[in-house]
């Protein structure tokens, strides 16, 4: 819902042609990232493929990092939207099913959405191509925000759907779970182009075991918001 490129753009495109251009640049960035990786990706090539002059590129994106960060945010939004839609259309027996569903969806995104496997919720999102520097506090804070956004929205979804108790530690636990799952799934995709099934299964186990401290099974049965048993997708508020 929120604009995917929220604070990362130098100038927000207003006219229709400009919007399409920015979108095209992000599309080509994603494809090129999958082809050559971040370091080999050049702004000139992105601009060339998107059929946009390099000068125009730099009117919208502050720099190479900004481009990739904007893509990361767009991917993030896409994932969260798909998650919300997916969770809304299913009646879950217990919260562990929700964990499996979220991870399956994440894996599916990695398999199909260009650039999703490379630029996602980890530090790449923050400082793509470079590890976090103690100097650049601002960027770090932003990354932390992004991380919190994912975990927070997941928590909202889980609470909404499963009626889990609003533990104080749940928020932090979800952040930790997201971070850990992200890392393990990265490993799974490093080991196998489509994601090593064993490692994906192991990832689910990891998250289930960890979250079982915070999410009790009893909370699931007490769920109030899962009223409809229908399988059709329901609209989130």
Partner DNA sequence: GCGTTAACATGAGCATCACTCATATCCGAA
Partner DNA sequence: TTCGGATATGAGTGATGCTCATGTTAACGC
Site for DNA, rule CB under 7 A: 11, 14-15, 17-18, 21, 41-44, 52-56, 58-59, 63-65
**Residue 137 exposed, middle or buried by CB count within 10 Å (0-12, 13-18, 19+):** exposed
Q: How far is the CB of 133 from a second copy (least distance, A)?
A: 4
Least gap, CB of 9 to DNA (angstroms): 12
Burial 167-186 (b: 16+ CB within 10 A, else e): beebbebbbebbbebbebbb
Phi-psi region at 122: left, alpha or beta (left = phi > 0; alpha = psi -120 to 50): beta
Main-chain dihedrals φ then ψ at residue 119, nearest 5 degrees: -110, 110
Minimum distance between the CB of residue 173 and DNA, rounded to whole angstroms?
Answer: 37
Contacts with a second copy by CB under 8 A lie at: 33-40, 117-119, 122-124, 126-136, 140, 143-144, 147, 172-173, 175-176, 179-184, 186-187, 189-191, 193, 198-199, 202-203, 205-206, 209-210, 212-213
Q: In angstroms, how far is CA 83 from the centroid of its own chain?
A: 10
CB 14 to DNA: min, Å: 5
The residue (of 65 and 167) whose beta carbon lies closer to DNA is: 65
User: How far are the Cα atoms of 136, 175, 176, 182, 211 from residue 169, in angstroms, in the given order?
Assistant: 28, 10, 11, 20, 10
Give 104 or 145: the residue with its C-beta nearer to a second copy: 145
Cβ proximity to a second copy, 34 vs 86, nearer residue: 34
Tell me which of DNA, a second copy, none is bound by residue 144, counting a contact when its beta carbon lies within the kind-specific cut-off of 5 to 8 angstroms. a second copy
The three-class DSSP label of residue 226 is coil
Are residues 180 and 206 in contact, defined by beta-carbon separation less than 8 angstroms? Answer: yes
CB of residue 50 vs DNA: minimum separation in angstroms?
Answer: 10
206 contacts which partner out of a second copy, DNA, none, CB within 5 to 8 A by kind? a second copy
Taking CB within 5 to 8 Å according to partner kind, which of DNA, a second copy, none is near residue 44?
DNA
């Amino acid at each position: 819902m929120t604009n995917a490129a929220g604070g990362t753009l130098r100038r927000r495109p207003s006219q229709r042609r400009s919007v399409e251009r920015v979108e095209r640049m992000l599309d080509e960035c994603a494809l090129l990232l999958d082809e050559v990786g971040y370091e080999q990706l050049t702004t000139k090539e992105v601009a060339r493929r998107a059929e946009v002059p390099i000068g125009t590129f730099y009117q919208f994106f502050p720099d190479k990092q900004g481009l990739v960060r904007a893509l990361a945010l767009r991917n993030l939004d896409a994932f969260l939207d798909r998650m919300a839609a997916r969770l809304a259309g299913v009646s879950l027996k217990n919260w562990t099913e929700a964990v499996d569903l979220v991870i399956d969806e994440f894996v599916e995104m990695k398999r199909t959405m260009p650039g999703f496997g490379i630029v996602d919720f980890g530090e790449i999102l923050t400082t793509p191509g470079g590890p976090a520097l103690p100097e650049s506090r601002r960027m770090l804070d932003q990354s932390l925000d992004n991380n919190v956004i994912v975990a927070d929205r997941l928590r909202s979804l889980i609470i909404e759907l499963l009626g889990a108790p609003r533990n104080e530690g749940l928020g932090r636990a979800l952040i930790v779970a997201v971070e850990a799952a992200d890392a393990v799934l990265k490993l799974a995709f490093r080991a196998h182009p489509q994601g090593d099934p064993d490692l994906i299964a192991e990832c689910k186990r990891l998250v289930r075991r960890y979250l079982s401290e915070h999410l009790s099974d009893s909370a699931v049965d007490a769920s109030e918001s899962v009223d409809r048993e229908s399988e059709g997708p329901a609209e989130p508020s």
